[in-house]
Structure 1
Amino acid sequence: MGIEPVAPEAERAPRADAPVAPRTPASELDAAPAPAFALDVAPAPASALDAAPAPASALDAAPAPASALAPASDPPPTSVSDRAPTSAPDGVPRPFPAQLQVGSPVGPTAAAVMEPVRAACLAEYEALATGVLSGAVSDFISGGSGAELTLRANRSALDRVRITPRVMAGAERADPASRLVGTAAAMPVAVAPMAYQRLVHPEGELELARAAAAAGVPYVVSTLSSYPLEKIPGECWFQLYWLRDRRQVEALVDRAAGCSALVVTVDVPVMGRRLRDVRNGFALPDDVVAANLETTREAHAAVPGLSAVAAHTASAFSPTVSWEDLEWLKNRTEFPLVVKGILDPRDAKRAVDVGASAVVVSNHGGRQLDGAIASIDALPGVVDAVGNEIDVLMDSGIRSGTDVLKALAVGASGVLVGRPLLWALAVDACDEALGLLRTELTDAMLLAGCADLAAVKELSWRNDG
């Protein structure tokens, strides 16, 4: 079916001045639903639930909270509206978050009646989100390409990095304040561009962008955002996929005039073969669209054994994008240009020659070439190639503040965080997740003897691989 184009707003205020809508108090956002279990006994108090968090290295399989859980004896309800209300920490009954009532076949679904829990670490949001998302949506978010070798390598490579901490730094607290591509940031983190966030929350990109603004970090708006980029609040960068129709590329760049940077993703000549989506015959529900594009009809056409999202990108994205195109873009705009998807130091040098302000060392979260090098393993070579000429950011596999510390010690200027924040969005815990990430990072800095990011850059590290 055809999707009507979204008309851009006639005028747009600069992003730095964009208003941020009032937010629900954090105390009401801390109650994320647990995975698909029913409680047979009265839940333990919140303090007891924090007693057994998953180890930081066990990031792909965060366990459920340490309460007495047992499989539900009855089939789960088909709608979250069938579920009993939760109770906030003050004991006042409150309904489940609104996004859990989305009724699309691939959207969030109810699992069982349960009490809310809080994540003890950033990685635990995956298990919490799995409890409220359909299997197809969970696979779309969590999956990689092929045999998912690179997806797993991103984690194992980060786990192999070892830091040598300093002692007696004399610091009572750590300050993670930073600047990323000229943008002031409360910590060296930006929210990675992620498509179709309305799959997990009815306010999707709007909600996560508001949380990013409240946390003081940049939010990167995807070309495949399910809300128009003009409506996204806060300090934003715009991520551009190169489209077959250059007129659409020009129109998108013009519409992004209020953003602070332009992030061009260059590692998707074609979409990697994501077997989970293929097996699920994954397609978007009718109410989730790429709001920045004229049509997404292919993405809604479910065909067994095919990914409708891959079919859409094949029709919309240009596989022939080249360095000459990037030069044309750089000459056309005054945006700071960020080139995302760099792994080879030679490509990093070429980005410098084109006039890029930054590169993102990235393998697309293990979703493109399966068997590609892990991002953290590629990072030192890229840093050596560009020196201090431009910022070097990194993504793929970041699951904790300690991972951020490792990336900075290895040479990154900052990181982009993706999946953990999307999982947090699914359980209405974006503010909590970004707060946890800051806490994890500042704790790691203090434990490493670093009062600021300059000291982190001086840390010694090794790779135990």
Structure 2
Amino acid sequence: MALALHAYEAAAKERLPGPVWDFFAGGSGTESMLTAGRKALDRMQLRPRCLVDVSHCDPRTRLLGSDLAAPLAVAPMAYHRLAHPEGEVATARAAGEAGVLLTVSMFASRTLEVIAAAASGPLWLQLYWLRNRAVMRDLIHRAEAAGYRALVLTVDAPRVATRPRDARNGWAIPPDIRAVNLPEETMSASHGSRAGESAIARHSRDQFDSSITWADLAWLRETTSLPLVLKGVLTAEDAELAVKHGVSALIVSNHGGRQLDFARSAPECLTEIVEAVKAADAECQVVLDGAIRHGADIAKALCLGADAVMTGRPALWGLAHSGTEGVTAVLRHLMDEFEEVMALMGAPTPTDFPRTGVTQPTCPH
């Protein structure tokens, strides 16, 4: 079994077909955002405190009322069966074994109910806003019935950005893998390869509703009682609007570097969003998504005011490597590193990480 995340990455790249690897690993435009978040985190320096009793470090926390073994969650990613035959079932099993949260993509390749049956930890469901609201309503009600605990609306993708690797490969979802929770007619555009064009981008143009505004969140409120989370918020202005619209949590995210090119990285934007939420005196939690590759990254996010972090691609690397075992190993690797950082930082619990615990270049408003 590999021992470091880069070893899982290398193994996944070797095992997966080239176009599948490009779909998972690629970014939009110049792909500048694939490294921006990592560079931002690497510029930050931890400021440890000493002579603190760290004989017992407890990384447990709560996120939207769910108990987690650490402030860590798996980000929403589509089509896990591209990486392993068990797909999201293996990922759910691993997240449960590690005691962390799994966010299931609207475009999951296993059914919501089968994923829930395999899970022993909390699940959230991620949504894109489709033109057909009846399809969304059905999916939301199924998630409620299956015990999912929150809805995550992705707000940074009114359409899918140009992703050169996918266009070059004429990428389309293979016919034996489907977004099984959605009607076939809704997903038909995501299949069928065309030279020089991404079927994923074509599908988003056909099915995503790019006209929605803040006012449309009222429809979600009427449709479900589940907490609403917005993913892809990068400014204080939008954080303030989210709070006014009763959003329960914000995920600060660059969509894995797959949407707006040349944007500010999520780690750089975290402080202003946390401050906006705090100024509003709102019960709204904040999660950092993207570029998490070490337990120290979790600590940096907590120092900046985040309640938890999400990791994406590393979970897929573990999945491609060895299914449930690989994902579990990746998650526990991050958690073990984080617990060591807790001790060395003088922070025996996640709430003990102070704002003064990290230095970083600030992100201007």
How does the TM-score come out when normalised to structure 1?
A: 0.73
Find 2:350's aligned residue among 428, 435, 453: 453
Q: Please report how far the alpha carbon of residue 459 of structure 1 lies from its aligned counterpart in structure 2 after TM superposition.
A: 4.3
Deviation at 1:123, TM superposition (A): 3.7
User: Distance in 2 between the 1:327 and 1:416 partners?
Assistant: 27
Which of 129, 132, 140 matches 1:245?
132
The question of 1:266 aligning with 2:160 is answered no
Q: How big is each residue's C-alpha offset from its partner over 1:141-192, in whole Å with a ceiling of 9 and x where there is no partner?
A: 1111000112211110111111101112121242110001111111011111
CA contact (8 A) 1:196 1:224 kept: yes
1:370 aligned onto 2:261? yes
Summarize deviations over 1:86-116 as a string: whole Å, max 9, x none: xxxxxxxxxxxxxxxxxxxxxxxxxxxxxxx
TM-score (norm 2): 0.93
Deviation digits for residues 223-282 of structure 1, max 9, x if unmatched? 000111111132211111100111111111111102111111111100011111111111
Instruction: Provide the C-alpha distance between the structure 2 equivalents of 1:346 and 1:124, rounded to a whole number of angstroms.
Output: 40
Matched positions, count: 348
SS in 2 for 1:288: coil
SS in 1 for 2:106: coil
Alignment of 1:206-285 (within 5 A): 206-233=89-116, 234=119, 235-257=122-144, 258-285=147-174
Is 2:184 aligned against 1:290?
no
Q: In proportion to residue count, which structure has more helix?
A: 2
Q: What is the rounded CA distance, in whole Å, between the counterparts of 1:143 and 1:159 in structure 2?
A: 21
The aligned amino acid for 1:433 is V
Q: Which residue of 2 aligns with 1:126?
A: 9
Aligned amino acid, residue 152 of structure 1: T
Extract structure 1 runs of 4+ deviating beyond 2 A: 121-124, 457-460
The 2-side partners of 1:459 and 1:229 are apart by 42
Distance in 2 between the 1:314 and 1:300 partners?
14
The residue type paired with residue 241 of structure 2 is R
Contact 1:123 1:400 in 2 (8 A): no
RMSD: 1.3
Please name the residue that 1:205 is paired with: 88
Distance, in Å, in 2 between the alignment partners of 1:364 and 1:190 is 15
Deviations 1:415-444 (A, max 9, x none): 111000111100011111111111011011
Please state how far the C-alpha of 1:458 moved relative to its aligned partner.
Answer: 4.9
The correspondence for 2:195, drawn from 291, 304, 323, is 304
| Structure-1 separation of matches of 2:346 and 2:5 | 22
Distance 1:445 1:179 in 2: 17
Conserved 8 A contact 1:330-1:355: no
Higher RCO (CA < 8 A, seq sep 6+): 2
Larger Rg: 1
Given the alignment, which residue of 304, 312, 320 partners 1:426? 320
Which residue does 1:144 correspond to in 2? 27
Distance apart, 1:330 and its partner CA? 1.8
The answer to whether the 8 Å contact 2:156/2:259 transfers is yes
Q: CA deviation at 1:332?
A: 2.8
Secondary structure of the structure 2 residue equivalent to 1:339: strand
1:342 is the counterpart of 2:239: no
Once residues 103 and 124 of structure 2 are traced to their aligned partners in structure 1, the CA distance between those partners, rounded to angstroms, is: 5
C-alpha contact (below 8 Å) 1:391/1:413 kept by paired residues: yes
Structure 1 position 405 matched with structure 2 position 291: no
Q: Determine if contact 1:301/1:308 at 8 Å carries over to the other structure.
A: yes
